[in-house]
Amino acid sequence: MNTLDQSTTTQQRSGAIAALYLAAAFLLAMPFFLVVVDYPGATDVAEKVALLADNHASMQVMYLITYVIFGVVLAVLALALHARLSPVAPALMQVATAVGLMWAVVLVASGMVFNAGMAAVVDLNPTNPDQAQSMWQAIEPVAQGLGSGSGGEFLGGLWILLVSIACLRIRSLPRSLSWLGQAVGMAGLLSIIPPLSATAYLFGLLSILWFAWLGIAMLRTATASPQQVATTPELVSSTASK
């Protein structure tokens, strides 16, 4: 195996491990935020600040794992998929990778804003609870806007949808994985419509399966070069007709 092949294999394996991490992070985050802490269930700002104060350390770690590190790892996967899929869908993957990297950036920003804001609010709450609540009312929309709803599920859904469309042109990844990815992507996009906001939960659940399946599939075909994975029926037919 030459140096170029080694580099390609390493990148694809890194992308596969990244995909498995993202699946694990989703799997860890959903029960934590919905059951253990139930932050989405808190509607009153005083209740939210109380939850932050009672669960400061654990929420700080979870936001680090599921937002900050998640975003960095997502960028690794986005670049690995770009290298893998751009030979068969160059224009589509340019757009998809740009969207994927934007999603990574907003997730990192959301996690850092949430953790920094939470620390300031928790420190202020014992001496001035009213000011702490007012501060959190200003910080929370910024963090949530970046990490979920219009910021998170929309960009994530669009990236997964575009990548999945490109995957249909490649033989080394299952076509059923591509169809699943398109369903995941549509769930993310639909979540920005207020009456359909609950599809964000469907996006999260299906993303666990998609990332895990993608990581396993990439590990199995990590040694495939871009030239090998580009041998699709569409390209073969195009070549034969020339």
CA distance 158 to 89: 16
Q: Say what the pLDDT of residue 149 is.
A: 56
CA distances to 32, 37, 115, 117, 122 from 56, rounded to whole Å, are 13, 11, 9, 11, 8
- Helix axis angle for 90-124 and 152-167, nearest 10°, is 160
Let me know: does 143 contact 117? Beta carbons within 8 Å.
yes
CA distances to 41, 91, 154, 166 from 67, rounded to whole Å, are 20, 28, 15, 26
CA distance 159 to 176: 17
Q: What are the sequence ranges of the domains in the chain?
A: 3-241
Q: Say what the pLDDT of residue 235 is.
A: 36
SS3 assignment for 100-151: HHHHHHHHHHHHHHHHHHHHHHHHHCCCCHHHHHHHHHHHHHHHHHHHCCCC
For residues 12, 17, 22, 27, the Cα torsion angle rounded to the nearest 10 degrees is 140
Both tokens of 166, joined, read 């490109």
Q: pLDDT truncated to tens, each residue of the chain (242 aa)?
A: 444 467 788 899 999 999 999 999 999 988 888 777 877 677 789 988 998 999 999 999 999 999 999 999 999 999 999 999 999 999 999 999 999 999 999 999 999 999 999 999 999 999 999 999 999 999 988 888 777 655 688 999 999 999 999 998 887 789 999 999 999 999 999 988 888 888 888 999 999 999 999 999 999 886 554 444 444 443 333 333 33
CA distance 221 to 174: 11
Helix (H) or strand (E) holding 237: helix 233-241
- From 121, 123, 144, 104, select the one nearest 46 (Cα to Cα): 121
SS3 label, residue 26: helix
